Amino acid sequence: MTLHVPTLVLMLVIGYGLLTLLLAVAGHGGLKRGELRQLGWAAQALCLGFLCFALRPWLPGWLSLLGGNLLLMVGLALFAAALSWHLLNRGLSNWFLGLLVAAAMSVPLVLDATTPLRVGVMSGAMAVLLLPSTVAALRHGWRGELSFRVVALMLLLACSALVARLVYAVWWAGAGPAAGGEAAFWSGAIFMLAFMAVLAAGFGFVLAGFERMASQMRKLASVDGLTGAFNHNTTVSLLAHTLERGRRENQPVSFVMLDLDHFKQVNDRHGHVVGDAVLRAVAACTRARLRGSDVLGRLGGEEFGLVLPATGLSGARHLAEQVRLAVEGLALEGDGGRPLRVTLSAGVAEAARSDTPETLIHLADKALYQAKQQGRNRVVVADDWMRNSTLQSVVG
């Protein structure tokens, strides 16, 4: 097999064209992530850059070299911007823009220079533009989506190839005209390898975008958007799982139901925005008192549930009391900056071996009802009488 550099250039035009098309279709189909839009612009710039090289036989030499190199540099900078948004949630820093300007200014300066000098300067400039993305992808991307590892490895390959091309250009300059066409071929081939790796990184980036969207959708399906607590269905599933595990490992499991007192008045006096802020603050304050293995769920409006594995009745009551005191002590701001205090009531129940999530939640709800009846801002533990009446109502 023989390598033909102009054919490789054409392959890259097609490759970056396909990446552009894929990103346009993905954006149209709902994958509207800002960084993927920027990646689309990067792919367009790189596609046009290689088109300038592909049209070299028909364009003035200087125009093909100037346009091609500048567009590739802009493409690499847009790639870096997309990567920065994806990994660090911010755009390009000013020093990177400075690097881009310096790299772009070097292009017209070396247009009339010898080929090895031009190859060396262009390779060095592009390697410098790719280096921050490569470092960021290796440092931050490795812990992110699995497909981002492909991006990191491909960028490392691309950056290494450009540095190798720079070193090769230094050797070429020393060897002089004797190096001849073979040196031009290898320099072109290494360049193509570098940009094929950037193309592979681009496809990996698209996969990472899909992976991130899928994980966000999974999260949205199980977590309450306002408070960050698990939603009702997920809480019940986690309770079922915890009960099963408790039975197998002979460990107690408790469930606490929390309900804010007179929350309707908070909404009526201060408005729903303040009401929402109160719910968020209560959830955060409760979460801060839980163990890593405990579960905080939002069962409905102003009602939360705590699933407590390996926790008996006295431990659960103690925790509920701590949460009650912490919420009572929250210094909140109401409408117009007025101080706002809220309290909550709690019902605590420990699971029996035969309990299902429904019977246990029902039992905790009974205890909560008692807490409300007794004047609110208190913790009530479910007793045998409540358990018997729960069984009757569930069986009946």
Active-site positions read 302
Tell me which of 88, 105, 220, 226 binds ligand GTP, using CB under 6 A: 226
Min separation Cβ 377 and ligand GTP, Å: 9
User: Of 263, 311, 350, 357, which one interacts with ligand GTP (CB under 6 A)?
Assistant: 263
Q: Cα(229)–Cα(233) distance, rounded to whole angstroms?
A: 12
Binding residue for ligand GTP, selected from 260, 306, 316, 327, defined by CB under 6 A: 260
User: Is residue 224 involved in binding ligand GTP (CB under 6 A)?
Assistant: no
The β-bridge relationship of strands 303-309 and 295-300 is antiparallel
Is residue 195 close enough to count as binding ligand GTP by CB under 6 A?
no
Cβ neighbors of 345 (< 8 A, separation 6 or more) are: 258, 259, 261, 324, 368, 371, 372, 376, 377, 378, 379, 380
Question: Which one of 46-54, 255-263, 324-332, 352-360 is the stretch in contact with ligand GTP (CB under 6 A)?
Answer: 255-263
Task: By CB under 6 A, tell whether 280 contacts ligand GTP.
Answer: no
> d(Cα 387, Cα 124) in Å, to the nearest integer?
76
Is the torsion defined by CA of 322, 326, 329, 334 positive or negative? negative
Q: Which is nearer to ligand GTP, 6 or 301 (CB)?
A: 301
Q: Classify each residue of 316-343 as buried b or exposed e, where b means 16 or more C-beta atoms within 10 Å of its C-beta.
A: bbebbeebbeebeeeebebeeeeebebe
The binder of ligand GTP chosen from 70, 78, 197, 261 (CB under 6 A)? 261
Could you say whether residue 328 binds ligand GTP (CB under 6 A)? no
**CB of residue 300 to ligand GTP, shortest distance in Å:** 7
- How far apart are alpha carbons 164 and 223 in whole angstroms? 49
Residue 204 and residue 148 in contact, taking contact as beta carbons nearer than 8 Å:
yes
Task: Determine how many CB atoms are found less than 10 A away from the CB of residue 117.
Answer: 15
Q: Kindly tell me which of 274 and 319 has the beta carbon lying closer to ligand GTP.
A: 274
> What is the x/- site pattern for ligand GTP, positions 282-301, by CB under 6 A?
-------------------x
Residues in contact with ligand GTP by CB under 6 A are 226, 259-264, 267, 272, 275-276, 279, 301-302, 372, 376
